[in-house]
Amino acid sequence: MTLELRFHPEARAELLADVKWYDDRELGLGGRFGLAVRSAVDAAAQSPDSWAIWPGWDREPVVRSKGVGDFPYRVVYVVRNESLIVVAVAHTKRRPGYWRERVPAV
């Protein structure tokens, strides 16, 4: 099953900002980072229940996350109405849970 893909506007903005950061500071790794995020999102869309439920998350909708290749990031998402909604492209060591208010209510 492959779901329709949607990004929360703030998740899209942080993805673009992180791609730029990697391009500016890490010798042009922005493209590689963007591809790794896309690969993680595609895997989540193809098999959304395969990835871990966010630790401590105990309400609907279920929040899951998929790691991003060689980068210290996770794609945080929910499934709703046949869509995979990316609520964050979150660094694993910065601001844990900052994206919680982006999760749509059931």
Q: Which of 26-30, 64-68, 94-98 has the highest mean pLDDT?
A: 64-68
99 within a domain of the structure (yes/no): no
- 61: domain range? 4-94
The residue written with tokens 């959304």 in the block is 48
**In terms of pTM, does the model score above 0.85?**
yes
Model confidence over 26-43: pLDDT tens digits?
A: 678 999 999 999 999 999
Q: What is the CATH number of the domain that holds 47?
A: 3.30.2310.20
Residue closest to 41 by CA, chosen among 9, 2, 82, 99? 2
Residue closest to 42 by CA, chosen among 102, 72, 84? 84
Indicate the number of domains in the chain.
Answer: 1
Residue 68 has pLDDT above 70, yes or no: yes
CB 52 within 8 A of CB 65: yes
100 within a domain of the structure (yes/no): no
